[in-house]
Amino acid sequence: MSPSGASRRWGVARQLIPLLLWVGVALLLRWQVMEPRWIPSGSMLPTLQLEDRILVEKLRPRLVATLPRGSIVVFHPPDPLLAAGYDPRAALIKRVVGVPGDRIEVADGELRRNGVVVSEPWRAEPIDYELPPLTVPAGHLLVMGDNRNASLDSHLWGPLPSDHVIGTAVFRYWPLRHLGPIRFSPTTGTG
């Protein structure tokens, strides 16, 4: 092998190494820290619109024992949905309305947590179903879409195992007119 051929290959390798490192960092960030998602349904209206593009932060669910009430979470389908034929690679998005130990019910068109009506000013109409009182078990969350009457959520399939959570929705990057942090509802009190 000639010295000029070896130095040429080393020159190409020196140019590729930084590119490969950046690709590796980008993939690590995508898989472990932050990932883009889009909103496929109207279950989170009016907070999130159809076709919104969001960033999902993936560290918090691994670092905290329980996500706070009001967090908007992206998660893998729970077992009852998988049994009904849901794609195991799919992801759903809902708001945490109950954490372990909370007693949740829906009665008279209102969500109640621990006996107190939860204020939901974004709701245009009363909830049109009942949910008998249930206590959220350890290691689970109760999640519901903001569009309460058009959401496939915990009121139908029960508490969500916390280990199904992929991450929390933190930033909307499309459409540009709504660019910015996803604002959580002021109704996330401890009631």
pLDDT at 99: 98
Active site residues: 43, 94
pLDDT of residue 31: 56
Please tell me the predicted confidence (pLDDT) of residue 135: 98
Q: What is the pLDDT along the chain (191 residues), one digit of tens a residue?
A: 555 666 667 766 677 776 666 665 555 555 566 888 888 889 999 999 998 999 999 988 778 878 999 999 999 999 999 999 999 989 999 999 999 999 999 999 999 999 999 999 888 899 999 999 999 999 999 999 999 999 999 999 999 999 999 999 999 999 999 889 987 544 434 34
| Amino acid 12: pLDDT | 64
Residues contacting residue 184 through CB under 8 Å, at least 6 positions apart? 70, 71, 72
Show me where the domains of the chain are located: 1-32, 36-181
Residue of 177, 190, 144, 160 whose CA lies nearest to 61? 160
Q: What pLDDT score does 4 carry?
A: 65
Q: Count Cα neighbours of 184 within 13 Å in the Cβ-side half-sphere.
A: 16
Structure tokens that stand for 138 in this block: 């350890």
CATH number for the domain running over 36-181: 2.10.109.10
Encoding tokens for residue 85?
Answer: 């034929």
